[in-house]
Chains A and B, each alone.
Chain A
Amino acid sequence: MNDISHSPSAAKATATKAPPEVPQESAAVPKMRAEKVSVHYADKQALFDVDLDVPENQVISLIGPSGCGKSTFLRCLNRMNDTIDIARVSGHITLDGENIYDKALDVVELRARVGMVFQKPNPFPKSIFENVAYGPRIHGLASAKRDLEEIVATSLQRAGLFNEVKDRLDEPGTGLSGGQQQRLCIARAIAVNPEVILMDEPCSALDPIATAKVEELIDELRENYTIVIVTHSMQQAARVSQRTAMFHLGYLVEEGPTDMMFTNPTDKRTQDYITGRFG
């Protein structure tokens, strides 16, 4: 497949024609590109030579059985593995062609450009307003209180939460329901105005209705952001993502357009996994 454009429909259209295992050699540079990424936790290798492109303004989902390395890979993309003492990352990851593991690169700036939403909703023990205002404040995105309020309102609107909380912005964020908390965390990530949003099983702690809302939100966010989502739910991967990458035992098994992966996977392991034979 040699023309991944910014439009997902175009990607889908070409996906059926091109064999999915062919790496993308597109004219458009992928938003992020990982080459030969390996991760060790102390002596144990958790990820082996992963090559993966993250195309811009699309949703790519990472699937695979537990312990397959998909979350580890996700955390490489904004260097969250740096916070784990024993983790060691090797290989090459670029964001817009820039090596993010370069010594000259500021990890704080990277995380502002590549935001993250976690598995369990983790709002800070502060008010709803302060939760969303946290990022803009530390990055100095708003000079006046008015600007800050503006950013908070827009972020909450984009996260589809504004109407539910607009009258109680000063109440604690931890008082919201699980689904609302997760959307608050998404709003918090959006408020920094990132280019890429990483989501680590964002719906695994939510009920089906809250899940549907978050999935709907992910689909809308695709317009403005590039999204990488780790999920255990194959249905979710099928619903929200344009591309899917299958991990197994630390290796990237295969990667391709989502509909292709679910209808006609090339690798036996992928087929076994999505048909529920293991995992």
Chain B
Amino acid sequence: MSDLIIVGILLALMALGYQVALGRYRKVTGRSEVRPHSRPAYHGLLVAIWCAIPALAVIIVFGLFEPVITRYVILSALPPEVRDLPTHELRGVMQRIHQIATGFGIVGEARPYENVAATRLGTYHAIWNFALVALVASSAVAGLVYTLRRITPRLRARNEVERVIRVLLLLCSAVAIMTTVGIVASLLGEAVRFFGFVNPLDFFFGTVWNPRFSSVGAGQGDFGLLPLLVGTLMISAIAILVALPIGLMTAIYMAEYASSHLRNIAKPIIEILAGIPTIVYGVFALTVAGPFFADLGAAVGLDISATSAFTAGAVMGVMIIPFISSLSDDIITQVPASMRDGSLGLGATRSETIKRVILPAALPGIVGAFLLAVSRAIGETMIVVLAAGNSPVLRFNPFEPSTSVTVSIVNQLTGDTDFASPQSLVAFALGLTLFIMTLGLNVVALYIVRKYREQYE
């Protein structure tokens, strides 16, 4: 509730500040001979911005201190014997008090000291919220008044607004970067905890994947990465073998041969493939493609299991086609027409032109598209869950059931999870492995692109 009030007050003050600033601007410039530096709207914006900035600062500072103070308030209301409980039990008590205070309800009867603490917390929350609203409002007004007094014809409001916008944009891009850093950090932290249970050598070079046993009985499970890694690589390789030639040739046809009429119809249809949810592909693989491959195998005397690396890979390949074809198409179309003309003008045929001029010029982009497709294939989960047979056994025959790293992460984290056991923590080690693989691919891609880039500008 108080959050809404704060937002309302802030918006109202900003609008007010904008209007007042316009009025003041008119007054100040009216009686001055100096040509004003910035247009009125910039003065208005500047006042509105300086209304918001101190208020936001107050909110952030309050937010930072709130947990600390709450904790102190509760602790001071608790009897000494409860205060001396071990950390994790104390945490439970505090959670219960929180829930009583917010009227959330708890399991079992509330103990008297809990009720006392909860009441204290409730009072304190009311004061806290009131103080926050008051502080936010007054700091916003202070910012407003201060900036209003700064308005003169020479005030460089435009430049200051520009600077604020630049900082704002910087913060937005920082969000993406910080999230990445955060993900990597949490992966690393949990993975390190996992490696406290399992020797990294056993993990990276183990050939047996059997994590469940240890949760039943004593002793370590087997956390060998290799069966999963081989599955992932095999399925991805099959997917790429399907998608790369088809996708690239589709792109070449669409960019160089197809009439614009055909292209306008065919391109959206191909791109629809990318819009189909992967679970639908999974169902398709399980119910249609798998049995079809099995029958086909039986007809030619090959033993193909209905759920196999081959089924998952082939269906995944179809899913990836639009990634390759669409991106490559754009890149091929971007090769300047003068290259094409130059080659055709020398008497080269269309396919010679494509092979010798267009594709080399478009290569960096095509490699990029290819690597994007590979990352998709490595990270793809649903199709593999349904179509690969979930069989974490080290096998190199693509026609037998298999599994992948991503599927194992799903398996380890669904159902009962205890984040202190290696059975769950192994998911972070697997995630880290995937992350490092895609990172490696990107580095390789950058290297290839730099080395083979042919400048056509």
Query: A residues engaging B (CB < 8 A)?
Result: 78, 80, 83, 85, 108-112, 115-116, 118, 120, 122-126, 134-135, 138-139, 172, 174, 185, 188-189, 192
Q: Is the CB of A108 within 8 A of B343?
A: no
Q: Could you say which of B259, B336, B343, B352 contacts A85, with CB atoms under 8 Å apart?
A: B259
Q: Kindly list 13 other residue pairs between chains A and B, CB separation below 8 angstroms, not including A111-B344, A116-B346, A122-B338.
A: A83-B341, A108-B347, A108-B348, A111-B347, A118-B341, A122-B341, A124-B343, A125-B455, A126-B360, A135-B346, A138-B352, A174-B457, A188-B346
Q: Which residue of A has the minimal Cβ distance to B363? A: A125
A78 to B347, CA, bound (A): 9
Nearest A residue to B357, CB-CB: A124
Residues of A within 8 A of B260 (CB): 85
Contact status of A124 and B344, CB under 8 A, knowing A134-B356, A138-B352: no
Interface flag for B92 (CB, 8 Å)? no
What residues on B are CB-neighbors of A192 within 8 Å? 346-347
Q: Quick check: is B339 within 8 A (CB to CB) of the other chain?
A: yes
CB distance from A197 to the nearest CB of B (A): 10
**What sequence of 0s and 1s flags, for each residue 239-272 of chain B, a beta carbon within 8 Å of any chain A beta carbon?**
0000000000000000000011000000000000
Tell me the minimal C-beta distance from A176 to chain B in angstroms.
12
Residues of A within 8 A of B96 (CB): none
Minimum Cβ distance to chain B for residue A55 (Å) = 22
Given contacts A118-B338, A122-B339, contact A174 B455 (CB under 8 A): yes
Closest B residue to A122 using CB positions: B338
B23 beta carbon closer than 8 Å to chain A: no
Identity of the chain B residue whose Cβ is nearest the Cβ of A174 in the assembled complex: B455
Which residues on B sit within 8 Å (CB–CB) of A174? 455-457
**What are 28 contact pairs spanning A and B, CB under 8 A?**
A80-B341, A83-B341, A83-B344, A85-B259, A108-B347, A109-B347, A110-B347, A111-B344, A111-B345, A111-B346, A112-B346, A115-B345, A122-B338, A122-B341, A122-B342, A123-B342, A124-B361, A125-B454, A125-B456, A126-B360, A134-B343, A134-B346, A134-B356, A135-B347, A172-B455, A174-B456, A188-B346, A192-B347
What mask results when residues 344 to 368 of chain B are scored 1 for a CB within 8 Å of chain A, else 0?
1111110010001100110000000
**In the docked arrangement, what's the CA distance between A134 and B361, Å?**
15
A109 partner residues in chain B, CB cutoff 8 A: 347
Q: What is the 8 Å Cβ interface bit string for chain B, positions 424-457, against chain A (1 contact, 0 not)? A: 0000000000000000000000000000001111
The reply to whether the CB of B83 lies closer than 8 angstroms to some CB of chain A is: no
Shortest Cβ gap from A186 to chain B (Å): 12
Shortest distance between the CB of B448 and any CB in chain A (Å): 16
Given A125-B456, A174-B455, are A189 and B346 neighbors across the interface (CB < 8 Å)? Answer: yes
Q: How far is the CA of A276 from the CA of B73 in the complex (A)?
A: 92
Q: Which residues of B contact A122 (CB under 8 A)?
A: 336, 338-339, 341-342
1/0 per position for B196-214, CB-CB distance to A under 8 A?
Answer: 0000000000000000000
6 closest residue pairs by CB, A with B: A125-B454, A112-B347, A116-B345, A122-B338, A111-B347, A135-B346
Within the complex, the shortest CB–CB distance from B64 to chain A, in Å, comes to 55
Instruction: Write the chain B residue with the least CB distance to A198.
Output: B345
Expressed in whole angstroms, the Cα–Cα distance for A188 and B346 within the complex equals 8
The answer, yes or no, to whether B340 is at the interface (CB within 8 Å) is: yes
Given known pairs A85-B259, A85-B260, A120-B338, the reply for A125 and B346 (CB within 8 Å) is: no
Most buried by A among B342, B356, B457: B342
Cβ-closest chain A residue relative to B340 = A83
Complex formed: what's the CA distance from A105 to B340 in Å? 21
CB distance from B388 to the nearest CB of A (A): 42
Complex Cα gap A112–B349 (Å): 11
Closest to A127 in B: B454
In the complex, A80 Cα to B260 Cα: how many Å? 19
Distance from A136 Cβ to chain B, minimum over Cβ atoms (Å): 10
Distance, CA A115 to CA B260, complexed state (A): 28
Find B342's partner among A110, A112, A124, A138 (CB 8 Å cutoff). Answer: A124
- Smallest Cβ-Cβ distance to A139: which chain B residue: B347
B349: chain A residues within 8 A (beta carbon): 108, 138
Q: Which of A83, A116, A123, A125 has the most CB of B within 10 A?
A: A125
For B360, list chain A residues within 8 Å (CB). 125-126
Q: Who on chain A is nearest to B454 by CB? A: A125
Residue of A nearest to B259 (CB): A85
B342 touches A118 (CB 8 A): yes
For B259, B344, B347, B454, which residue has the most chain A Cβ atoms within 10 angstroms?
B347
- Report the Cα distance A110→B347, complex, angstroms: 7
B361 contacts A125, C-beta separation under 8 Å: yes
A101 to B343, CA, bound (A): 20
Q: Which of B345, B356, B456, B457 contacts A80 (CB 8 A)?
A: B345
CA distance A189 to B346 in the complex (A): 6
Name the residue of chain A whose CB is nearest to the CB of B348. A138
CA of A111 to CA of B349, assembled, Å: 10
Smallest CB-CB separation from A136: which chain B residue? B346
Q: How far is the CA of A124 from the CA of B341 in the complex (A)?
A: 11
**B268 → A minimal CB distance (Å):** 20
> How many angstroms from the CA of A80 to the CA of B343 in the assembled complex?
11
Chain B positions within 8 Å of A120 at CB level? 338
**Residue of B at shortest CB range from A83?**
B344
CA gap between A120 and B361 in the complex, in Å: 18
Please give, as numbers and ranges, the residues of chain B lying within 8 Å of A83 by CB-CB distance: 340-341, 344
Best-buried of A78, A110, A134, A139 by chain B (most CB within 10 Å): A134
Contacts of B357 in A (CB 8 A): 124
CA distance A118 to B456 in the complex (A): 15
A125: chain B residues within 8 A (beta carbon): 339, 360-361, 454-456
Cβ contact within 8 Å between B346 and A80: no
Q: How far is the CA of A192 from the CA of B454 in the complex (A)?
A: 24
CA distance A7 to B362 in the complex (A): 47
Task: Find the residue from B260, B456, B457 having the highest chain A CB count within 10 A.
Answer: B456
Shortest A86–chain B CB gap in Å is 9
Residues B345 and A78 in contact, CB atoms below 8 Å apart: yes
How far, in angstroms, from A182 to B410 measured CA to CA in the complex?
60
The closest CB in chain A to the CB of B352 belongs to A138
Closest B residue to A107 by beta carbon equals: B347
In contact, A118 and B339 (Cβ under 8 angstroms): no
> What residues of B have a CB within 8 angstroms of the CB of A139 in the complex?
347
Q: Which residue of A lies closest to B346 (CB)?
A: A135
Q: Which residues of A contact B336 (CB under 8 A)?
A: 122
- A124–B457 CA distance with the chains assembled, in angstroms: 10
Question: How far is the CB of B257 from the nearest CB of chain A, in Å?
Answer: 11
